[in-house]
Amino acid sequence: MHVDLHTHTDCSDGKLTPDELISRALDRKVSLLSITDHDTLSAYSALESVPAEITLVPGIEFSCGWKKLEIHIVGLSIDLANPVMQKAVADQQQARLVRARQIAEHLEKQGVPDAFDGTAQIAGNDNIGRPHFAAFLIETGVCKSTTEAFKKYLSIKNLARYWPEVSTSIEWIRGAGGIAVLAHPLKYKLTRTRLNMLLDDFQAAGGRAMEVISGKQLEWQTRDMASLCIKRGLLASCGSDFHQPDLSWAELADIPPLPGDCEPVWRHFA
């Protein structure tokens, strides 16, 4: 079974429309898929249809804060129409807008004019994120690459202050009948002590799973995350964190299977 439980569309910061993502998933023989756009469920209402070969698991990726760091929590098997989830998305969209205006103000002070309007036009939706600002900086010739944009202009301290606590995001997911998953634990570059502290807080708040596999990673990293997952009694998830076709390290469904001693999260979907 080909599984990918962490993907993005152009409803957040991905490049493909929801239908294009589904088509690509079909071509790559994905049988279990979740669209987990950042802080929005718009992809699900935009979809024309889903082929019978694909089981689509309703999902979302919430931005939240933990000790001044931005942490991402994926919600899987959620009830899209649940009022708790609907209000959560509305709150996140408002927070994202305030955050975007603050980033634009920061860029204006750095000598980059029209940052908000230009970035909003690139995003094409209300779900503006830092990748959209990076695209704006490249398009206007301020930067030559995404790496340069983030390093010189978008590494802004404490952007996590705009997001709710990890516990709040987990409460939203549980309120909508879903399973809360800690997304890409290696991406935060935490020491093992700090990662265990994060997982302590995550589990205390009702988090039930972690991504053992996130895109291309080394075999020893997979073994390490699997060991941590099992030791903590967490369910295991996996996803590419797909955003666009030309990123080889995050290609749709281009991930190994979960280690056999992990308990897959999808066995616990409602």
Domains of the chain: 3-81+167-268 (3.20.20.140), 90-160 (1.10.150.650)
Q: What is the mean pLDDT of residues 157-164?
A: 88
- The CA distances from residue 164 to 93, 152, 177, 210, 244, in Å, are 12, 27, 19, 19, 28
pTM of the model: 0.93
* Interacting residues of 196 by C-beta distance below 8 A, sequence separation 6+: none
- Residue 199 zone, left/alpha/beta (φ > 0; ψ -120 to 50; rest): alpha
The DSSP-derived string for 70-136 is EEEEEEES--TT-HHHHHHHHHHHHHHHHHHHHHHHHHHHTT-TTHHHHHHHHH-SS---HHHHHHH
Backbone angles phi, psi at 60, to 5 degrees: -155, 160
Return the pLDDT at 216: 94
The string of DSSP codes covering 212-245 is: EEESS--HHHHHHHHHHHHHTT-EEEEE--B--T
Q: How far is CA 43 from CA 53, 61, 176, 242, 268, in A?
A: 19, 12, 18, 14, 23
Continuous segment of H or E residues that includes residue 23? helix 18-27
Question: Band of the pLDDT at 124, cuts 50, 70, 90?
Answer: confident
Q: Is the per-residue pLDDT at 123 higher than 90? A: no
Average pLDDT over residues 54-71: 96
Kindly state the DSSP code that residue 22 receives in the 8-state scheme: H
Residue 242 scores a pLDDT above 90: yes
pLDDT of 187 reads 96
Q: Is the pLDDT of residue 126 over 80?
A: no
The C-alpha R_g of the chain, in whole angstroms, comes to 18
Question: How far is residue 56 CA from its own chain's centroid?
Answer: 17
Q: How far apart are CA 251 and CA 233, in angstroms?
A: 29
- Between 115-123 and 83-109, two packed helices, what is the crossing angle to 10 degrees? 140
Average pLDDT over residues 228-255: 96
Token pair belonging to 86 = 């609907």
Indicate the pairing of strand 69-76 with strand 59-66: antiparallel
Is the separation of the CB atoms in 2 and 32 below 8 Å? yes
